[in-house]
């Protein structure tokens, strides 16, 4: 057996791709920050490699090169993009604006700096808008549109007074963006830079300022803020599969495979390096040891994942609400010759989440909504994907004035819609009175209702102007009232997502799919809770279930840690049962609202100012298991068991 040479850290541009500086002033720099461009577009992926689309940003694959065009590092180029939110329901209901997105951007930047400041490359463009940019793919250079008369570049207009003077939406009060020539003053023309931006006699189309060049493609034409951070090409699911014993196809761009360096290629299917020196235990001489090593490496991976979410939520004091495997990349460190490089792996959070803050008007409540483009995912509870809305009837019982001059309304709510509501959720009600529409925000209580199908409601304290009109409506049945249940989504949603990720890490293999094993885990949780007895530990309840019904072991046993052929009968001779029960308990406690063993009662069960605390017990439990499994790796447990059996036989 031979080990790979010392060139593993060398990175290179893939064949057929060029590195284009992100701004004209970068062309003269010794170290250039570039976007990776394919002059001949991939039939599926196009000219540029889009790593991810966020609710308010697009992320491109980039690189840092030196004067010789040697790639020094792979980069993520986060480009702010407000255009994706325009005309969405969230934008109209929440009154989103560029100012709100800029504020969110700055918070995310600070969170990234707290999480791992060494990953951020400061260019100034993360806090100061760049010039609008196109890319000339034939010349391999950036292009900033300029005014032919003055020779000055077009810039993003943030002058509220100037925009208002010309009858255009303001920058801070809308999602629309306009380019202008600052030197022209009030005589400047404006160029709409976002989809659907209103046009009038003071505007002209984008086509008039862009070079008439078929080889020019847009890059950052709306002059969005740009964040540059280091990129690790291995995604989380790929790494999980690698730990389970399979290799990787490689980094893809549409139909193309990107060759970006030996360290990454070491994980591809046509390489033997992974077998040779990726692990401590070699494939040919340590099947049992490899299983314990896999368990330990997967525990370390989960610890990285939970810790990174804890840090991010602690700094942002908001949930992420979009957690999935795509939220992380895995970084491999440089190692000496012959050392197991998988032991250098670290999961790096690459997505700070895109939860939208919802300030309830006339109250001090803060709620969060998932991204309007998030959709449904197995990694997110369905409550965060599908809000309930419809029509209802209500009767106001009383209108109360609180000591702080706020108003609380109590009444009865009836609807034919099938609704499920948690104690922390809130219901938006729009009541039409003589004074106009009045929006109320209430909690529903079914226990105190007098009739089936009814809920008593009590609104949160609001600063309402029309209390007299509300009092006049006391006792009056009001049909056809528009309502929507706004689930209080907080960090327990992220805890649920982490539980599903843990299931993906420990229990999914070539025989267990994620939907099936998630269903089995939820069934186990419900059975454990059905057998709840405060005098019987959860470990004992799980052990009893596995002893009574072997199907639990077949579906949720540690043999699913790897693609290696290890039977369920022999697996507990390798991995102690108490360690496996502890892993299952960690997962089950992370699932909110399933019983007394759950860490959180529902998806809103997190205290204000302490949203990150829901992750802390999980982190402590995982850290304890890491220490226990590390001790298993350096001992020959199978031999110890044989010796113990021999001693026991002799004694009896």
Residue 203 predicted with pLDDT over 60: yes
Out of 45-49, 459-463, 483-487, 606-610, the most confident range is 45-49
Residue whose pair of structure tokens reads 């490496």 in the numeric block:
297
pLDDT of residue 148: 86
Both tokens of residue 506?
Answer: 């420990």
Q: Which helix (H) or strand (E) holds 263?
A: helix 262-265
Tell me how crowded residue 266 is: count the other CB atoms within 10 A of its CB.
20
Distance, CA of 610 to CA of 185 (rounded, Å): 48
DSSP state of 341: G
Q: Give the residue with greater pLDDT, 90 vs 566.
A: 566
Pairing mode of beta strands 226-230, 178-180: unpaired
pLDDT of residue 273: 46
Go through the domains of the chain in sequence order and give each one's CATH number: 146-209 (no CATH), 278-321+491-651 (no CATH), 382-486 (2.40.30)
Q: What would the pLDDT profile of 213-242 be if each residue is shown by its tens digit?
A: 668 899 999 999 999 999 988 889 999 998
Q: 474: which strand partners? A: 396
Maximum pairwise Cα distance, the chain: 102
Out of 176-180, 267-271, 358-362, 640-644, the most confident range is 176-180
pLDDT of residue 318: 86
Both tokens of residue 561?
Answer: 């840690």
Q: Give the residue with greater pLDDT, 532 vs 544.
A: 544
Full 3-state SS string of 99-123: HHHHHHHHHHHHHHHHHHHHHEECC
Q: Give the residue with greater pLDDT, 338 vs 304.
A: 304
Residue 89's pLDDT band (cuts 50, 70, 90): low
pLDDT of residue 296: 95
Out of 364-368, 514-518, 534-538, 599-603, the most confident range is 514-518
pLDDT of residue 46: 92
Residue 643 predicted with pLDDT over 70: no
Residue 129's pLDDT band (cuts 50, 70, 90): very high
Pairing mode of beta strands 256-258, 226-230: unpaired
Q: Give the residue with greater pLDDT, 633 vs 109.
A: 109
Average pLDDT over residues 117-128: 92
Q: Give the residue with greater pLDDT, 298 vs 534.
A: 298
Q: What would the pLDDT profile of 422-461 be if each residue is shown by its tens digit?
A: 777 889 899 988 888 888 999 888 676 566 678 899 998 8
CA atoms within 13 A on the CB side of 512: 27
Q: What would the pLDDT profile of 298-334 be if each residue is shown by its tens digit?
A: 999 999 999 999 998 988 888 998 899 989 989 888 7
Residue 7 predicted with pLDDT over 50: no
pLDDT of residue 411: 93
What percentage of the chain carries pLDDT values higher than 90?
46
Q: 430: which strand partners? A: 439, 482
Compute the C-alpha angle 124/128/129, nearest 5°: 120
Q: Give the residue with greater pLDDT, 453 vs 560.
A: 560
What percentage of the chain carries pLDDT values higher than 70?
86
DSSP state of 86: T
Residue 5's pLDDT band (cuts 50, 70, 90): very low
pLDDT of residue 369: 75
Q: Give the residue with greater pLDDT, 9 vs 378.
A: 378
- Residue 450 in 3-state DSSP? coil
Q: 32: which strand partners? A: 65
Q: What would the pLDDT profile of 267-289 be if each residue is shown by its tens digit?
A: 665 544 444 557 776 555 567 88
Distance, CA of 367 to CA of 255 (rounded, Å): 41
Q: Which helix (H) or strand (E) holds 288?
A: helix 287-316
Distance, CA of 519 to CA of 525 (rounded, Å): 10
Full 3-state SS string of 361-420: CCCCCEEEECCCCCCCCCCCCHHHCCCEEEEEEEEEEEEEECCCCCEEEEEEEECCCCCC
Q: Are 503 and 524 in contact, with CB atoms under 8 Å apart? A: no
Contacts 24+ apart (CB under 8 A), 168-172: 168/198, 168/200, 168/202, 168/203, 169/197, 169/198, 171/98, 171/99, 172/97, 172/98, 172/99
- Residue 148 in 3-state DSSP? coil
Both tokens of residue 493?
Answer: 């949603």
pLDDT of residue 2: 46
CA 525, 530, 531, 536 dihedral sign is positive
Give 173-236 as a DSSP string. TSS--EEE-GGGGGG--BEE-STT----TTB--GGGTS-S-TTEEEEETT---EEEEE---EEH
- Residue 461 in 3-state DSSP? coil
pLDDT of residue 570: 86
CA atoms within 13 A on the CB side of 637: 20
Average pLDDT over residues 551-570: 89
Q: Which of 282, 237, 231 is nearest to 261 (CA)?
A: 231
Residue 405's pLDDT band (cuts 50, 70, 90): confident
pLDDT of residue 94: 57
Residue 40 predicted with pLDDT over 50: yes
Residue 403 predicted with pLDDT over 90: no
Q: What would the pLDDT profile of 565-577 be if each residue is shown by its tens digit?
A: 888 888 898 899 9
């Amino acid at each position: 057996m031979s080990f790979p040479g010392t060139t593993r850290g060398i990175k290179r541009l893939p064949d057929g791709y060029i590195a284009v500086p992100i701004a004209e002033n970068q062309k003269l720099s010794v170290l250039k920050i570039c976007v990776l461009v394919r002059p001949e577009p991939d039939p599926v992926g196009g000219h540029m490699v889009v790593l991810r689309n966020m609710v308010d940003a697009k992320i491109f694959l980039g690189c840092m090169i030196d004067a010789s065009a040697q790639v020094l590092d792979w980069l993520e180029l986060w480009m702010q993009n407000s255009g994706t939110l325009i005309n969405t329901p969230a934008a109209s209901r929440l009154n989103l604006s560029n100012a709100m997105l800029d504020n969110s951007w700055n918070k995310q930047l600070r969170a990234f700096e707290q999480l791992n400041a060494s990953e951020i490359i400061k260019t100034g463009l993360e806090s100061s808008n760049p010039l609008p940019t196109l890319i000339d793919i034939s010349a391999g250079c950036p292009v900033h549109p300029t005014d032919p008369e003055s020779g000055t570049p077009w810039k993003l207009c943030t002058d509220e007074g100037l925009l208002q003077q010309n009858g255009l939406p303001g920058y801070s009060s809308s999602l629309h963006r306009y380019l202008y020539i600052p030197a022209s003053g009030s005589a400047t023309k404006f160029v709409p830079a976002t989809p659907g931006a209103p046009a009038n006699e003071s505007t002209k189309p984008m086509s008039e300022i862009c070079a008439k060049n078929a080889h020019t493609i847009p890059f950052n034409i709306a002059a969005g803020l740009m964040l540059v951070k280091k990129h690790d090409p291995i995604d989380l699911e790929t790494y999980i599969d690698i730990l389970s014993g399979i290799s990787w196809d490689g980094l893809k761009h549409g139909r193309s495979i990107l060759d970006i360096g030996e360290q990454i290629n070491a994980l591809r299917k046509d390489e033997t390096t992974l077998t040779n020196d990726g692990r401590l235990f070699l494939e040919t001489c340590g099947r049992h040891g490899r299983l314990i090593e896999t368990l330990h490496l997967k525990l370390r991976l989960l610890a990285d994942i939970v810790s990174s979410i804890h840090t991010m939520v602690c700094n942002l004091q908001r949930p992420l609400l979009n957690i999935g495997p795509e939220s992380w990349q895995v970084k491999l460190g440089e190692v000496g010759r012959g050392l197991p490089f998988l032991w250098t792996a670290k999961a790096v959070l690459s997505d700070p989440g895109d939860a939208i803050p919802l300030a309830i008007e006339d109250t001090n409540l803060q709620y969060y909504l998932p991204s309007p483009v998030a959709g449904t995912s197995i990694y997110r509870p369905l409550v965060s994907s599908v809000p309930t809305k419809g029509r209802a009837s209500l009767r106001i019982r009383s209108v109360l004035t609180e000591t702080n001059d706020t108003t609380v309304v109590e009444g009865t709510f009836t609807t034919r819609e099938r609704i499920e509501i948690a104690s922390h959720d809130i219901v938006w009600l729009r009541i039409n009175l003589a004074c106009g529409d009045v929006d109320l925000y209430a909690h529903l209580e079914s226990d105190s209702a007098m009739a089936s199908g009814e809920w008593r409601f009590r609104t949160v304290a609001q600063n309402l102007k029309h209390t007299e009109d509300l009092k006049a409506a006391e006792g009056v049945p009001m049909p056809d009232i528009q309502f929507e249940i706004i689930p209080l989504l907080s960090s327990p949603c992220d805890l649920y997502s982490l539980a599903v990720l843990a299931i993906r890490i420990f229990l999914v293999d070539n025989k267990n799919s994620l939907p099936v094993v998630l269903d089995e885990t939820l069934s186990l949780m419900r059975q454990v809770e059905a057998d709840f007895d405060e005098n019987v530990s959860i470990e004992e309840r799980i052990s009893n279930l596995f002893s009574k019904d072997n199907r639990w072991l077949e579906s949720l046993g540690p043999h699913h840690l790897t693609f290696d052929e290890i039977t369920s009968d022999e697996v507990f001779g390798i991995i102690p049962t108490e360690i496996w029960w502890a892993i299952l308990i960690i997962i089950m406690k992370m699932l909110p609202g399933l019983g007394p063993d759950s860490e959180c009662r529902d998806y809103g069960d997190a205290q204000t100012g302490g949203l990150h605390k829901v992750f802390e017990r999980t982190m402590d439990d995982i850290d304890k298991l890491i220490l226990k499994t590390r001790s298993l790796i350096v001992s020959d447990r199978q031999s110890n068991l044989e010796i113990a059996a021999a001693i026991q036989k002799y004694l009896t």
